[in-house]
Amino acid sequence: MTAHDGQHSAAAAGAVEEGAPGRLEIVRRFVNTQDVEDGIEELDTPQAMRAWLREHDLPDVPGAGFENLTRLVALRESLRKLMLANNRGQEDERALDHLCDEAARVPLRVRFGGGGRSELVPGCTGVDAVVGELVSIVHEAMAEGTWPRLKACRSDTCEWAFYDRSRNRSGTWCSMAVCGNRAKARSFRDRHVAKRNADT
């Protein structure tokens, strides 16, 4: 596994992190290859990218260069923005357009299986196959209705991807014990300062 291994600082506070269902967990982990809060970037070189792809059973990219890495990182950040949109309830048109553009670049085909199941699979190799795999997972999640629950933490200093398992899909923070409490403390402090200023 990589040195960071997809662990967030919330784990240090004893928060238990539940993954996303099925293959959607791969997308969640992909977005979390950058830990915004701790400033950790797992995909910092093409070699690190290939190692991460192998660890998560995604297609290999032989001879990968920084052009391939830049493409995947750009896709990752668009996915993060779409997860933030899931949290805030506001569409990010630019991120959505980028996802559509990437989907149009790769050949995808339908594979039929038993039990009335079918899935989109990439009909290509290399970085196109990686993009195709990620795009197909997102498509599957949207079709199944699980995508809106995959969110990025609303804290601007965090933006950690998490799967919202609350009954009414009202989860806002990756961890109420960490980011949620920080937001509460800031809100309390801001109200206290505003009240003090109003009294002077």
* pLDDT tens column, 124-144: 999 999 999 999 999 999 999
pLDDT band of 17, cuts 50, 70, 90: confident
The per-residue pLDDT for 179 is 87
pLDDT tens digits, one per residue of 142-196:
999 999 999 999 999 999 999 999 989 889 989 865 584 554 444 444 444 445 5
Q: Which residue has the tokens 């509460």?
A: 184
Share of the chain above pLDDT 70, in %: 80
User: Do the Cβ atoms of 163 and 18 come closer than 8 Å?
Assistant: yes
The per-residue pLDDT for 178 is 56
Q: Of residues 18 and 77, which shows the higher confidence score?
A: 77
User: Do the Cβ atoms of 114 and 88 come closer than 8 Å?
Assistant: no
pLDDT band of 96, cuts 50, 70, 90: very high
Average pLDDT over residues 56-65: 97
Q: Of residues 30 and 1, which shows the higher confidence score?
A: 30
What angle, rounded to 10 degrees, do the helices at 66-88 and 46-55 form? 60
Share of the chain above pLDDT 90, in %: 74
Q: What is the mean pLDDT of the chain?
A: 87
- Residues in Cβ contact with 143 at an 8 Å cutoff, skipping those fewer than 6 apart: none
Q: What is the pTM assigned to this prediction? A: 0.84
The per-residue pLDDT for 191 is 47
CA distance 190 to 168: 29
- What CA–CA distances, in Å, run from 187 to 10, 117, 192, 199? 20, 48, 9, 18
Domains within the chain, CATH numbers bracketed? 15-199 (1.10.3300.10)
